[in-house]
Amino acid sequence: MNRRTPRLLIFDSGVGGLSIMADVQQLLPGCAITYASDNAAFPYGTKGEEELVQRVDAVLQALIQTVEPDVVVVACNSASTLALPHIRAHFKVPIVGVVPAIKPAAAQSRSKVIGLLATPGTVARAYTRDLIAQFASNCTVISLGSSELVQKAESHLRGKTVTTESLRELLSPMFAHPRFAEMDSLVLACTHFPLLRPQFQALLGPRITLVDSGEAIARRVSYWLEGLGLSPDATSAEHSAIFTRHSPDVEGLKPALRVLGITRVECQTI
């Protein structure tokens, strides 16, 4: 095994991918991670399909040239459910995508009533419908798409308080479903949403299990590193962040970035 420090690129439109970064760090603490936020095009969840594919392709081209990563994680459900086949055909570096955790949620559900919380684009996408048909055909799936929840998570990471009451209002269409009282699992199908896990759990109570893709993504990254013959060092590696647009909001993120060991923050206009 090669003992040099593996380089990972974790990429999202906003800061949701930081939830994925935390899971990767927990499993693979010896990797050097560059977290990239395409804040110039945030949010991805409201973009048209052609526009989104072209943007992800252009940004990844620039970032891969800068970072020279061993593995790329597209830590965005909106981008992954649409652009993965295209970008995997364009780049030689292994690319790990994030898809809604519908399969494990359906498998663990006893009531066979599960929730799906995502962006409007992910809820509407054929890829998501196919996942439901393949892995949750025996379940009632209560789906809700919300861009406002993405903004809530972004604000939370910048130190603003997100109350359970404000979340209750945004989740009210899900609560109004006639089978909501039977729902026992909720898929957090946007990487932003695990950032609000304590608030969601406080609102929904212990009856409902929250399911996301973070640990599965970390295991997939480990699989690729093993295949490349790369073994993370036991020592902690240095981490950095790249944003695609200068913004005052980036300053507000720095305390949260430091918690994840990100010590260098820069802007690369793309």
Do 62 and 268 meet the contact criterion of CB atoms below 8 Å apart? yes
Phi then psi for 2, rounded to 5 degrees?
Answer: -80, 125
pLDDT in tens, 158-213: 889 999 999 999 999 999 999 999 999 999 999 999 999 999 999 999 999 999 99
3-state SS class at 173: helix
Residues, the chain: 270
Its pTM surpasses 0.85: yes
Domains parsed from the chain with CATH numbers:
7-98+214-267 (3.40.50.1860), 102-211 (3.40.50.1860)
β partners of residue 95 = 72
pLDDT in tens, 138-152: 999 999 999 999 999
Catalytic residues: 76, 190
Tokens, residue 180: 């909501």
pLDDT in tens, 22-74: 999 999 988 999 999 999 998 887 888 899 999 999 999 999 999 999 999 99
